[in-house]
Chains A and B, each alone.
Chain A
Amino acid sequence: MLEIKNLHAKVNDNEILHGIDLTVKAGEVHAIMGPNGSGKSTLAHVLAGHPGFEVTEGEVVYEGKDLLSMAPEDRAREGVFLAFQYPVEIPGVGNTYFLKAALNAIRKHRGLEELDAMDFLALVKQKMKLVEMDESLLNRPVNEGFSGGEKKRNEIFHMAVLEPKLAVLDETDSGLDIDALKIVAQGVNSLRSPRRAMILVTHYQRLLAYIIPDHVHVLFNGRIVKSGGKELALKLEEKGYAWIEEEIEKAQPVNS
């Protein structure tokens, strides 16, 4: 479904990604782990099309299409979803109103009929249960006054409603206590499907104990330096990122 080839990207003249190669198939869950500053969030934002990041080299093929040439809203309409690490608050724009506009834009693109207010509300009530979302948060402005946990759950709630094909979750576990984490993980797991792929960007192994990945990749200085199965995550947890650094140094030829 997704093929990232030699992706280089920079922000504010700092090159962050130095050549990422990654293939993700439908039904798979990939975890991208790495220390702070490794480029995890940059990768997530580049996939979503954030204008602040500039791709300097490489390509991303999504379902046979050139993803990098598509506007953010077109990527969303084609089924790409980014769950933000720090979801922004939008005062004055209702959560439900916003979500309905988004869903109908996606449905229209797919040639489906737009949902009216009643049908949408029925859908919303059903999806809310997946993340134990409180009804009172439906009519509040988007994320306004939401706690950290509520914001993360709201992201997964949006994901449940919009039903993307490729979901990129950017440090969805950050700032969550264990109970909130379990609810979010439960929500994500309920959305796993053979036709859906997920990329979990995470710093800690913790989340991956609840959302078991098929593949784990370690991002270091803007490159994927190690890939493996779910055991890799456990090893990282045990040994820390310093272990990766050592491994890389050992593999490098000595520079004169």
Chain B
Amino acid sequence: MIAVMEEKNLYLSYFASFEGNPTVRRHAWLHRIRKDAISRFSEMGFPTTRHEDWQYTNVAPIVRQPFKLAEYELKDLSEERLGEVSLAGLKCNQLVFINGFYSKELSSLQPQTRDVVVGSLAAALEQGGQVAPYLARYARYHDRAFVALNTAFMHDGGFVFLPPGTRVKDPIHLLFVSLDQGTPAVSFPRNLVVLGAGCHATIIESYAGLRQGTYFTNAVTEIIAGDHTVIDHYKIQRESDEAFHIAALHVHQGIASNVTSRSISFGGALVRNDIDDVLDGEGAECALNGLYMVTGNQHVDNHTSIDHAKPHTTSRELYKGILDGHSSAVFDGSIVVQADAQKTNARQTNKNLLLSEDAVINTKPQLEIRADDVKCTHGATIGQLDEQAMFYMRSRGIDKETARNLLVHAFGGEIIGGTTVVPIQCQLDLIMHRRLSGVSTVKETL
């Protein structure tokens, strides 16, 4: 018990000096939230495997490591390397963050119409008002330790604000790059996306580690989709092979809104993605798709929670996993249908491809249905490569390795192929290709 308290105290002492900074204390409303968050974190402590939501994911390696707070440091970043993870070739709005801090020099924005905001959260917090009604109102932290931790230390990230009826044609890319800082460091990216009624936008969050060694990314993203709004969202996780990544995405949807979110996870040593989507308007729809590809000793845990709060809402989930080596993965998909949410239509599917005997997948659907006129199905498969298909290809002259890679690529392709932004699809294909080309570790393939 004492050990746990010591580790928690590290962050408590960080907070004490963090809030000593007058800039941090400028807005009373924000300071109140921060203090509340750190106090909750102090009460909860880090989750252990005794907590049901964390039973398969042991965060001891993160807790044990004395990370320092990340700083803005542009070191060893070649244009070429940045080019591999950016969408610079595509006409888009790209906000680049280095170790969690906005870098104006590396970012590029398209001209926007009046009242449209695409910029850094730090700048928005500086100016005040616009953020206040939304920030930390959706990603609840009172029972989520890592969300509480992020909320206490949040200071920068992407802020997107679209007044009603706005369509932003060019994708908005929030690119978080982690660079070497000499010692292991922790960053707290915080994104807030507020789309009024009748809006349309494509939002991409990328987390890329362009460095060796261990570091910790603790990110929280809140997306508020107004009535009749359509959002195409991507989360691409390509952290370094020794990195820790714990992220939460909270989506709140209005009437007849449509959100498609794709979560792609390739990197990291220990990764946890939490997605909470509340369908809080009649006719709202969401599609949560995911692909996780792990090998070596990687562990990735995807927890999703869809709340059908209103009638005639639809949800579709397709998560696919490719596991090799001694890796492990978790898929926990919770669907709650509230008592008034009649005519809900929910479908959840988790498919896993195990390429080695030592890989482990834990898949658990959780359905809580309180209405009586609904349609909810769920299914999970755990399989190996199709031997018939393997033989067919080999009998035509294709060697075993190539045949295997073709099948694995085809398996992941169902998710990657659904990508509407072509440069993203190319990037993902490339990462996958590198992983399959006989590179058994994660290093250098991201």
Contacts and interface: CB of A to CB of B under 8 A. Distances in A.
B398 A90 contact: no
A106 to B, nearest CB: 5
Contact of B394 (A73, A93, A162): A73
Contacts of B396: 76, 81, 98-99, 102, 158, 162
B397 A162 contact: yes
Interface residues of A, number: 31
A101 B394 contact: no
A102 B388 contact: no
A90 B393 contact: yes
A87 interface: yes
Most chain A beta carbons < 10 A, residue from B394, B397, B407: B397
A103 B406 CA distance: 15
B386 A88 contact: yes
A90 B389 contact: yes
A99 B395 CA distance: 12
Contact of A84 (B386, B392, B398, B417): B392
A144 to B, nearest CB: 10
Contacts of A76: 394-397
A90 B397 CA distance: 16
Contacts of B407: 90, 92-93
B411 A51 contact: no
B interface bracket (residues with beta carbon within 8 Å of A): 20 to 34
Interface in A91-147: 91-93, 98-99, 101-103, 105-106, 109, 141-142
Interface in B395-421: 395-400, 402, 406-407, 409-411, 413-414, 417
B280 to A, nearest CB: 36
Given A73-B399, A73-B400, A105-B399, A92 B394 contact: no
Interface string A26-58: 000000000000000000000011110000000
Interface of A: 48-51, 71-73, 75-77, 81-82, 84, 87-88, 90-93, 98-99, 101-103, 105-106, 109, 141-142, 158, 162
Q: Which 7 pairs from chain A and chain B are nearest by CB?
A: A92-B410, A76-B397, A72-B394, A102-B396, A105-B397, A88-B388, A102-B397
16 contacts: A49-B394, A50-B395, A73-B399, A73-B400, A82-B395, A90-B386, A90-B406, A92-B407, A93-B410, A98-B396, A98-B398, A102-B396, A106-B397, A109-B397, A141-B410, A142-B392
Given A73-B395, A81-B395, A92-B409, 12 more contacts: A48-B395, A50-B395, A72-B395, A73-B398, A84-B392, A88-B386, A90-B386, A92-B410, A92-B413, A102-B398, A105-B399, A105-B402
